[in-house]
Amino acid sequence: MRQWRFEVFNRPGFSDVHGTSTFEDIQELGINTVEAVQSAKVFLIEGEFDEDFAGRVGRELLTDSVCEEYYIGRSKAPAGLAKATLIEVHLKSGVTDPVAQSVMAAVGDMGVSVDNVRTARKYILLGEITQSQTDTIAKKILSNDCIEDCIIGDEAEPPSPHLKPYELEIVKWPIRELDGDALIALSKEKDLFLNLVEMQTIQKYYQELGREPTDVELESLAQTWSEHCVHKTLKSSVDMELWHGLPAREDTAKMAVPQHIHFDNLLKETVFKATKQLDKKWCISVFADNAGVVEFDEESAVCFKVETHNRPSALDPYGGAATGIGGVIRDPMGTGMGAVPIANTDIFCFGPPDKKLEDIPKGVLHPRRIMKGVVAGVRDYGNRMGIPTVNGAIYFDERYLGNPLVYCGNIGLMDKDKCFKNPQTGNIIIVVGGKTGRDGIHGATFSSGEITHEYETIFSHAVQIGNPITEKKMLDVLVQANKAGLYEAITDCGAGGLSSAVGEMGSELGAEVDLEKVPLKYAGLNYSEIWISEAQERMVIAVKPENVKAIIKIFDDENVESTIIGKFTDDKKLILRYNGQQVCELDMDFLHNGVPKYSRKAVWESPQLAEPSIHEKDSYNDELLQILSSYNVASKEWVIRQYDHEVQGSSVVKPLTGVNNDGPSDAAVIRPKFDSDRGLAISCGMNPLYGDIDPYWMALAGIDEAIRNLICVGGRADRIALLDNFSWGNCAKPETFGPLVRAAQACYDGAMAFEAPFVSGKDSLNNEFACEDGRKISIPSTLLISAISIVDDVNKCVTMDAKKASNLLFIVGETKNELGGSHYYKVKGHIGASVPKVDLRTAPKIAGKICAAIAEGLIAGCHDCSEGGLAVALAEMAFAGGLGIEADLRGLPKSKDCSRIDTQLFSESNSRYVVEVELEKYDAFAKLMLNLPFGQIGKITREKTLVIKTEEGKTVIDMDIDSLKQAWQKPFDW
């Protein structure tokens, strides 16, 4: 068999964008001796064809004859350029190569079938570089060690991808005789992440059975009992020790004796409890399925899920983020009888992008590289799926350096009468979509431990490789199969792979699976790897025997792989076989309910913090510019534009708005059905800085912010559904878990006050990075609140940009002396103590009234006050609208202790809305706001300047809007 090698270069005169961007990345690394980078595509095609046909493949398929040229064989370094270094980047064997698959099919379309195709990238670096620089470039820029190999020089060929077939060998992991230490050692050695009590519980189970477990049995248990899958920490019983007053009380003095609070099940008694007590009719399925389901209209429902994909993204930012979004898209697809994805959200937390390279701990990628990779991953997967990415946020903090957070969310639309699954005994188990490989093994378990500097090497196998087109094809056929009513249940293969999908679907029934039937990407996988692989783009469905033929035809018609792998039984046992030999027999009840119950200790003691002393100034222009230019506040246009936020044709309020389409929208609104003006508003809220002072108020601020954002665009105040995503440090430490308990208490209080139930949630714990020197960096307590609401008529939506000169500006909501955790303090290097609180009596009233005013068409523009306070909100409204604002703090409703000008300008008090109203609508608006704290604070002008005057008439801010906008856009002008 001959292997043909094709190399495809850009013709001279046509810009090589990949080479150029690589060159820029090398310069960013601080290597200045590289003068230029040339990139080429490499195709290795194995097949029986002649020179003529090879020429056709090169010319007609692989090359764009206008701007590219190809070589057959290996090109040498360009003549005359003696100082060229050649580096080729190949995928490691077994890693999915979608381009290769497409090329194989395309050569087939040309009439010749080929045996194998591989692709690679080739880089020619021009300039004087040392061996160690070459290695650095290869490792840090050109390749990712988890999935790729670099070949330096022009001689070596990549290793053959052919793997040996697997021969069955049943492996037992004896545990019945082990003592405690040996049990722990086994758990560690096999990456099970099970603790002693869990290992002992399993030991007892096998002692009673009178046999030893097989490897796949222990793997299944480890995976099903992982933190990632069962949330054992959040469901544990908790003894909480509080050294300060109850959250709702104002006193912060330390008590002589701590107060104790006990929870039998933390989640059930906080987040779930609010949902249960509120008992909203429009909540269809909450905390039960892959996503929370709420009513959309008479016929339809929407479901929403947000997941984290932190650890994979730390190792492989591109692949980790791509599979993060790919995975969460499958949650709505696997909710009820399956939803159609209609929107993506993403929220990231990174280390500061300007961090010096030498300050990056070993084993960690530079935050800028992580950010670029993560954005590209979400972009490529989301865009290729044809799902608009409509809402998000990015936060920066030193403590995310070793542990970036990547939250991906997806919303799906489904028929209201198809919100529940009904798998039955006798149903056939079919796996649909991608093939199974060795990728992502131990993803569920490894996401439950801490990250160390060696983690890169140890857990490279946990990285999953995504192929969005496989998922899109699968979605296309599943929609048809769902419409035809051909299956009884569906779920996705997420964390834990088939083990989790089949295990959950069959938990009340029992299941038998023949593992050798599962289609594989390549030979050599053993039965255990097949069962727990987290290879992407796979779903499992339960089909009545009489529907099997019809459903498989739907899949075949569009070249989507589907395979019968087993059936659901009635003996409540999980039976796995390989070539007819039983390799696993577990009781479903033990698998799903056997996990021991935890009890945890938590302690909360307020940090000793004080307000900084800052002199008052005559002008705050500089502070405003600094805040606008701080990474958290600055424009994220560089990111947003890389996402397709308009595919599906549903967009109403886009993430960027205003006269030049570049102002920051508060929330997104989509109109998901072609024949209806009903819309869906989508937002988020998060502020880890407040958590450093008090996570209770951080959580409430997040809830208030997410809700404010929805209200600002026209979302209904009485149809808000919330999602929680806790990302925390090591919760085995009572002082880390205490803040989480406080945040959970706030979730209950906030949900009850706003009558906004939580419908789904997820947690990611143990987000700690262990440095080489043993130092541990824990992330700040980070609670993401995502929110959705209904918009009755999208034609009434409102955006945040200033609309018309002479319109009046109001602020609704009280400004208080609450600069703690503010961006004003942050740019001055302080944290402070007076964290913004939420007045749970007033906040929902304000939200309700603003919502009513928008519905009545009284509001021309509305923007929430959040990071940077009133001054930043006014600046954003002005430059988004291309108009000026003249504001006057005389009308500002404020608390008695809010006398300082900097506090009035930059306090981040919650529940505040800046509202633009036309003159003729003033009376109606004022009437509606009666009895609420509100005041006129100025008007829109033609002047293109932002002027803010104090009560005494002194001008404290006077800036032209172009300078403000420039300051806001500059940090991410990448």
Catalytic residues: 228, 309
Q: How far is the CB of 47 from another protein (least distance, A)?
A: 16
Contact by Cβ (8 Å): 894, 904: yes
Q: How far is the CB of 386 from another protein (least distance, A)?
A: 2
Provide the 3-class DSSP secondary structure of residue 86. Answer: strand
DSSP codes joined into one string, 571-626? SSEEEEEETTEEEEEEEHHHHHH-SPPPEEEEEE------PPP----S--HHHHHH
Nearer to another protein, 820 or 881 (CB): 881
For 847, phi then psi, to 5°, come to: -55, -45
The residues facing 915 across adjacent strands are 810, 862
Contact by Cβ (8 Å): 604, 739: yes
DSSP codes joined into one string, 610-675? -PPP----S--HHHHHHHHTSTTTS--HHHHTTS--SGGG-EEE-SEETTTT-EE-SSEEE---TT
Q: How remote is the C-alpha of 190 from its chain's centroid?
A: 28
Contact by Cβ (8 Å): 336, 419: yes
Distance from C-alpha of 653 to C-alpha of 657, rounded to nearest angstrom: 8
For 599, phi then psi, to 5°, come to: -125, 140
Q: Look at the block and give the residue holding tokens 């529907």.
A: 547
DSSP codes joined into one string, 828-846? TT---S------TTHHHHH
Q: How far is the CB of 863 from another protein (least distance, A)?
A: 12
Nearer to another protein, 791 or 835 (CB): 791
Task: Show the tokens assigned to 556.
Answer: 């075949």
Q: How far is the CB of 654 from another protein (least distance, A)?
A: 6
Nearer to another protein, 372 or 823 (CB): 372
Task: Show the tokens assigned to 577.
Answer: 């076989």
Nearer to another protein, 100 or 532 (CB): 100
Nearer to another protein, 20 or 547 (CB): 20
Contact by Cβ (8 Å): 406, 318: no
Parallel, antiparallel or unpaired: strands 884-888 and 945-949: parallel
Provide the 3-class DSSP secondary structure of residue 693. Answer: coil
Q: Binding residues for another protein, per CB under 8 A?
A: 14-15, 17-18, 20-21, 41, 59-62, 64-67, 98-99, 101-103, 105-106, 109-111, 379, 383-386, 467-469, 472-473, 476, 557-559, 640-649, 651-654, 656-659, 661, 671, 674, 794-795, 797-799, 801, 803, 861, 881
Parallel, antiparallel or unpaired: strands 768-770 and 776-778: antiparallel
Provide the 3-class DSSP secondary structure of residue 380. Answer: helix
Q: How far is the CB of 20 from another protein (least distance, A)?
A: 7
DSSP-H helix ranges across 393-506 = 443-446, 455-458, 468-483, 497-505
Task: Show the tokens assigned to 172.
Answer: 């037992």
Task: Show the tokens assigned to 797.
Answer: 């939506």
Give Cβ neighbours of residue 287 (< 8 Å, ≥ 6 apart): 272, 275, 758, 759, 760, 761
Integer CA distances (angstroms), 378 to 33, 634, 910, in order: 33, 20, 31
Nearer to another protein, 186 or 322 (CB): 322
Nearer to another protein, 654 or 900 (CB): 654
Q: How far is the CB of 383 from another protein (least distance, A)?
A: 6
Contact by Cβ (8 Å): 825, 612: yes
Nearer to another protein, 11 or 76 (CB): 11
Cα torsion through 382, 386, 387, 392, rounded to 10: 40
Q: How far is the CB of 91 from another protein (least distance, A)?
A: 14
Q: How far is the CB of 217 from another protein (least distance, A)?
A: 38
Distance from C-alpha of 69 to C-alpha of 894, rounded to nearest angstrom: 69
The residues facing 791 across adjacent strands are 679
Among 822, 837, 796, 650, which Cα is nearest to 711's?
A: 796
Distance from C-alpha of 44 to C-alpha of 65, rounded to nearest angstrom: 20
Task: Show the tokens assigned to 633.
Answer: 């506040």
Nearer to another protein, 374 or 428 (CB): 374
Provide the 3-class DSSP secondary structure of residue 282. Answer: coil
Which strands sit side by side in the sheet containing 768-770, from one edge to the other? 451-452, 768-770, 776-778
Q: How far is the CB of 966 from another protein (least distance, A)?
A: 16
Distance from C-alpha of 229 to C-alpha of 231, rounded to nearest angstrom: 6
Q: Which helix (H) or strand (E) holds 21?
A: helix 17-28
Among 866, 854, 778, 791, which Cα is nearest to 822's?
A: 866
Nearer to another protein, 512 or 801 (CB): 801
Nearer to another protein, 383 or 903 (CB): 383
For 332, phi then psi, to 5°, come to: -60, -40
Q: How far is the CB of 670 from another protein (least distance, A)?
A: 10
Q: How far is the CB of 30 from another protein (least distance, A)?
A: 21
DSSP letter (8 states) at residue 139? I
Nearer to another protein, 67 or 230 (CB): 67
Q: How far is the CB of 844 from another protein (least distance, A)?
A: 26
Q: How far is the CB of 283 from another protein (least distance, A)?
A: 28
Contact by Cβ (8 Å): 781, 733: no
Nearer to another protein, 216 or 340 (CB): 340
The residues facing 586 across adjacent strands are 574
Among 401, 377, 384, 403, which Cα is nearest to 322's?
A: 377
